[in-house]
Every structure is written in structure tokens, then in C-alpha cells.
Amino acid sequence: MDHVVCLDSEINELEDLLSGIKTMIIRGADRRRLPYGSVKEGDILYFISNRERGKIDARGVVSSVFCSDNLSEEESFEVIIRNQDKLQLPDKEFEKLAGKRCLTLISLNDIKEVEPFQIDKKDFQGPDDWFPIGKIDKIISRSFNITGTHSF
């Protein structure tokens, strides 16, 4: 399955992934929510680094996934600390996520830029920053407005 993922531009998440400083992304909540359970090894993630602009700028391949459930606050802190070398979370993000009961940690490889292309944001309404889309080549023809030639 492919996924469209909005990254945090304020903390340069995409730049850190592309440079190799960061090799893992995280999502956390106090209950199960996307991408919990929906991401598998081999899935492709398409990254948007600026949600207002709405353009996909890069892609990566999921190499491993860890989904926790019902962690204690202490366990949540331990999971994040154990993976901080791959997550490279700034203090503000660490404080926001540490202590969450449900964590999803996704390791990535083959992260590379793609020729940016615009998506049709009306297909992705709501506050979430994670959108399972099936396979992107099928979605492009019906859900994405694309300009130019693109390589995936």
C-alpha cells in the first residue's frame, strides 16, 4: 500500500530524512489512530513537507514498523529514547510524543526526492496527516492533479 504523509516543515523533517540524519518517523496518540496498523514493510510513503502547498516532494520505502499499544508513560519515554538516534526529535517534539500510549515508529530506506507534484487536497479533508491511498499509480489518474512529468 502507498501512503501520503505530511511532515513537519518547522522542524525540517523532510530535509533530515533526505540527508540521512533521520531514518525513522513517529506518530503517537493516546488511542489507536492512523497510521497504527495500516503500514507494513515494503509500503511506499510519499511525503508532503508543506501541507498548505500540498505538493509531494519525496518518497521512501518502509523497512520496518513498530506499533505499541497501551504503553505506560515510562514505557513510552523508553521507546522514544531507545530510537532517538534514528528519530532525531527536537525537544519540543519529544515532549509532545513521549508519554503517548500508542506509538507507531516507521523505519525508512531508499528515501529520495521526486519531481514535486500537486495533490488535490479535497480528497484529503480532516486534521490527519496520514492518508492510506492504495497504490499511487491508480490514485493519480482519479485523485491527484499533476503538472509535468514525474518519476516515482
For 22, 38, 75, 136, 143, the CA distances from 14, given in Å and listed in that order, are: 9, 21, 27, 20, 23
Q: Are strands 2-6 and 130-134 parallel, antiparallel or unpaired?
A: antiparallel
pLDDT score at 136: 66
For 56, 93, 126, 130, the CA distances from 88, given in Å and listed in that order, are: 22, 10, 27, 20
Grid cell of 60 as nine digits: 521512501
pLDDT score at 81: 98
Instruction: State yes or no: pLDDT of 77 exceeds 70.
Output: yes
Question: What domains lie within the chain, and their CATH numbers?
Answer: 2-143 (2.30.130.30)
Q: Which residue has the higher pLDDT, 129 or 59?
A: 59
- In this prediction the pTM is 0.85
Continuous H helices in 98-152: 136-143
Grid cell of 83 as nine digits: 530510537
**Tally of residues, the chain:** 152
Instruction: State yes or no: pLDDT of 127 exceeds 60.
Output: no
Q: Which residue has the higher pLDDT, 148 or 53?
A: 53
Region of poorest pLDDT, from 57-61, 96-100, 105-109, 127-131: 127-131
Judge contact between 22 and 13, C-beta under 8 A. yes
Q: Are strands 102-118 and 55-67 parallel, antiparallel or unpaired?
A: antiparallel
pLDDT score at 120: 67
Strands in 24-29's sheet, in edge-to-edge order, are: 24-29, 102-118, 55-67, 44-48, 2-6, 130-134
Summarised one tens digit per residue, pLDDT across range 2-40 is 999 999 988 999 999 999 999 999 999 999 988 999 999
